Amino acid sequence: MDILTHAISGVAIASCTSTFTKPSVKGKCKILAIGLIGGILPDIDAISMWSKFDSTIGHLFNLPASGKIIYSSKYWYSHHAFFHSLLASVCIGLFILLLIYLSNFKSNKTLPTTTFIKSNVIYLITFVLAYWAHLAGDLPTPSSSWGGIAFFWPSGNYIGGYGKIWWWNNYDIFLLILLSIIINLTIPVFIREKRKYVTTIVLSLTLILISIQINNREYNYNYSTSKGQYAEMEQKSKEEQKRILGNKLYSYMAWFDGKMKFYF
């Protein structure tokens, strides 16, 4: 799935989790930022496609293959491998929490650990859930050379790769997530007492609607190692979006897509 949809999926999670606390505006922005980071961080393993990867990281660690080969392979640091696992979400989440603790400890060395955990656990929860949202978004994409994602790493079994949606052009999913963010950021203005329940319902309904949209695609986008049908699948994904959104809304989204400097 495209990086923009991954990013806002993390923000959508954060827009919900932030209502389980009573943060200041600054605190809420931090939670949203953590959600954003959690939503995009799994794709850090795509760095092997960086044009200077071989001469920098590859050379530094004496990696056995070029970045392009690593990307499509099943090394633990390949795309869809360790960084697309439950274990990675927890490990990285705890690491970020540790960094926050050390940062706070410098300014307040008498801060009890239990007090710190109670006031900052929301960041860990938000990050992990946003990370999982990214993994969930990758499950229905094509299997490609990986056969899914290494969800239960270090197990060598990859799951997902169902080919129900294309890598990008999923404008309907993007719009549903964006709408949920807008609603959940607005709800606390009007509802204070039970806002966490309402935002949870909004997020849950969004997930249900996304699931319906994914399962109502009319084309199978799956492929393994051959990319012979790549252009055809790309075109089919656009045709499906036009069918789902209608010509007018589709034209707006296609225009927006054209303004992006990355695949959307």
pLDDT, one tens digit per residue, over 49-65 is 999 999 999 999 999 99
Are the CB atoms for 28 and 184 separated by under 8 Å? no
Confidence tier at 226 by pLDDT (50, 70, 90)? low
Assigned token pair, 105? 């400890």
DSSP H stretches of helix in 46-164? 59-60, 67-72, 86-107, 113-138
Q: What is the pLDDT of residue 24?
A: 86
Q: What is the pLDDT of residue 147?
A: 92
pLDDT, one tens digit per residue, over 8-44 is 999 999 999 999 998 788 989 999 999 999 999 999 9
Assigned token pair, 253? 């989204």
Q: What is the pLDDT of residue 28?
A: 93
What distance lies between CA 178 and its chain's CA centroid?
Answer: 14
Least confident of 60-69, 122-131, 185-194: 185-194
Distances (CA, A) of 124 to 19, 129, 176, 240: 15, 9, 25, 37
Q: What is the pLDDT of residue 224?
A: 65
pLDDT, one tens digit per residue, over 64-95 is 999 999 999 999 999 999 999 999 999 999 99
DSSP three-state, residue 78:
coil
Q: Is the pLDDT of residue 228 over 70?
A: no
Q: What is the mean pLDDT of residues 117-121?
A: 87
Q: What are phi and psi for residue 132, nearest 5 degrees? A: -65, -35
The ranges assigned to domains in the chain are 3-259
Task: Return the ∠ at Cα 83 (arms to 89 and 72), rounded to 5°.
Answer: 160
β-partners of residue 159 are: 149
